[in-house]
Structure 1
Amino acid sequence: MTTPSDPSYLANPPSACCFTGTLHAGTPRGTVEDILSIPTYISRPTTSNGNIILYLPDVWGLSPNAKLLMDGYAAAGYLVLGIDYFRGDPISNYRRTRNDPPPPDFDHPAWLAKHFAFASAHVLPWAAAVREKFGTSPTIQYACVGYCFGAPFVCQLLATDEVSAGAFAHPSRLTEEHFVGVKHPLLLSCAETDGAFPPELRRKAVDVLQREKKVYHVQLFQGVSHGFASRGDLDDPYEKWCKEQSHSAIVSWFDLWLAKS
């Protein structure tokens, strides 16, 4: 059995830092529909740029945080679809704040294994079903963004021609093969303090991207930790600023590369 210290990883599997965070206040404006029998949050833009973002959530699933982030991408002109590969069983069912311990009988490894197996088998078919439903004409371009648990699936999609660009924030469970396999531009939004993607592994990942001549960009935010971009403390002005800068940079990245496609 692999562990977080397994040298094959360039971003460690989810651990304690991935299960903590803060739920954000706000009223999501999207809807939930089933696509390929998987609950999918859909946020539609008021003024569309014609392009589509596939959203791969962290372990908090389709939380208010995730829905509000997707609404933010929709406000930038994108149709956004977020997959609930936890199927109503996110970590927020067991802990709702960074100081809220899980039930003493909660089996983190079993929970992770169950949902990672499902996500690994279903993200690509779900993405194909989205493309069938919403279009694949030359004028419709796709991008993908993932947070923590979602990062491997960003790389999985970037290894295909289903998307034109991708991004992830504070990733987990990535190997060298994930970085070698990407065929399209990748933005990495990173925290200075990150147990899943610490400096030594982040540097190795960048070395792989450079060696393989991939198109990439790295953001590094000082003074924040794993989870800042999706479940950070918005009562902290600096942490809120970092979260917003991460989001706006991802929008800008997609604006650039989808326009070029």
Structure 2
Amino acid sequence: MAEPEVATKAPESDAAEVSTASIVPGDTPAQTGASMGGLGEHCVKDKPTPFGVGPSGEMTQLGGIDVYVSKPADYPHAPSKLLLFLTGATGLHSENNQIQADRFAKEGYLVVLPDMFSDDPLPGSATYEEEKDPSIIEQIKMRAAETAKSFLIDMWLARQTPEKVLPILHKVMDAAKDEFADAVANGGGIYSVGYCFGGRMTLLLAGEKPDTVMWGQQVKDEEAGVVKKGPYIKAGAIAHATLVTREDFEGTKSPLAFVCVENDQLFSDEIRDHGEKHLKENNVECEFKTYSGVPHGFGVAGEYEDPKIKAAQAEAFDQMLAWLEAH
């Protein structure tokens, strides 16, 4: 069986690639520089937190899984809708991810951000810090450190499969249906937004998939025949997804909006075009919008100096919010 095409280069080609200058001043856009095992720099390190802003939600547990929950100010006195917020590799404890979740809460959504990685945090994840004008020696040291880090990220990423991650999400969603039954009922189901790694998970939750271990289900009697389950979300919005394969689009049923980055090696034109064609041919409501001059990962909260990136951030959020509101 042929290997499914993934929207990234092979790790060995990434390691051999020579880094090039960014087209965005002071940043590394998706179309330049090496990726780390299928993840971009913005997938594994946070930009500085927006000035004067901090998380407003709370840490708790659902289904035995650590989650960050952000609620509208007038909940439960006013009706809300449940939104499952799936992050990039920086995960649950990233303040930028939490702030981004808070933004949806301010728009009336009860947001649940789960620890998808289940106490297996990304190696070396930290707030993004960039040294200006490093010396040649420092550049060599940083290159060596990045090579070692890339290997660790490859190993970490190999563990984050649908077989591991989807059961965690099902536990959280099942518990949320009980804990926040009013929000689920008010929205007619669960909504989801996914960024980077979380984008692929949102795509998978939007589909009808075989009830097998590969798609995060329990071990079944193989002689019982193939049973399909899903979709698990009412609608979803996905920003700069990573690691998406052609197969991931199969069985998609729920309406989906995609925030894409121009020339993104982590969500290639070929994968994007295939996905859009497949969804439309199968009468799945979808929207694809491509943003130029922005780095992969731009849609998550973070401080950028370039006003064009800031404007694109706001536009992408509005696109995702409008899609959820329309469904």
Q: TM-score range by the shorter chain?
A: 0.7 to 0.9
Distance of 1:67 and 1:22 partners within structure 2: 13
Identity %: 26
Deviations 1:87-126 (A, max 9, x none): 4554484443264866765411121123445313321222
User: For the residues of structure 2 that align with 1:36 and 1:65, how far apart are their CA atoms?
Assistant: 24
Paired with 1:51 and 1:76, the residues of 2 have a C-alpha distance of: 10
Q: Residues 24-60 of structure 1: CA distance to partner in whole angstroms, max 9, x if unpaired? A: 2321000010112221010000244421100010011
CA distance in 1, matches of 2:301, 2:3: 28
Letter in structure 2 aligned against 1:167: A
Which of 44, 56, 64 is the aligned partner of 1:19? 44
Q: Kindly provide the CA deviation profile for residues 112-143 of structure 1, in whole angstroms up to 9, marking residues without a partner as x.
A: 12344531332122212211221166434321
Structure 2 partner of 1:148: 196
Match of 2:297 in 1: 227
Q: CA 1:98–1:219 in structure 2 vs 1: closer, same or farther (change >3 Å)?
A: farther
| One of 42, 62, 79 as aligned partner of 1:35 | 62
Tell me, in whole angstroms, the C-alpha distance in 2 between the residues paired with 1:23 and 1:122.
29
Q: Is 1:60–1:92's contact at 8 Å kept on the other side of the alignment? A: no
* Partner residue, 1:8: 4
SS in 2 for 1:219: strand
The number of equivalent residue pairs is 252
Displacement after TM superposition at 1:239 (Å): 0.6
Give the aligned residue type for 1:241: A
- Residues 190/49 of structure 1: CA separation in 2 closer, same or farther (3 Å cut): farther
Partner of 2:205: 157
Corresponding residue SS for 1:229: coil
Give the corresponding residue for 1:241: 311
**Structure 2 alignment gaps of length 5 or more:** 9-36, 132-141, 208-229
The CA RMSD measured in Å over matched residues stands at 2.5
User: CA contact under 8 A between 1:193 and 1:223: conserved in structure 2?
Assistant: no
Higher strand share: 1
Larger Rg: 2
Provide the TM-score with structure 1 as the length reference.
0.86
Say whether the 8 Å CA contact 2:72–2:80 is kept in structure 1. Answer: no
Q: Is the 8 A contact 2:62 2:171 kept in 1?
A: no
Which of 109, 113, 132 pairs up with 1:82? 113
Secondary structure in structure 2 of the residue aligned to 1:225: coil
Matches of 1:253 and 1:8 in 2, distance apart? 29
Corresponding position of 1:112 = 157
Unaligned runs of 5+ in 1: 1-5
CA-CA distance at 1:180 after TM superposition: 2.2
Moved over 6 A (4+): none
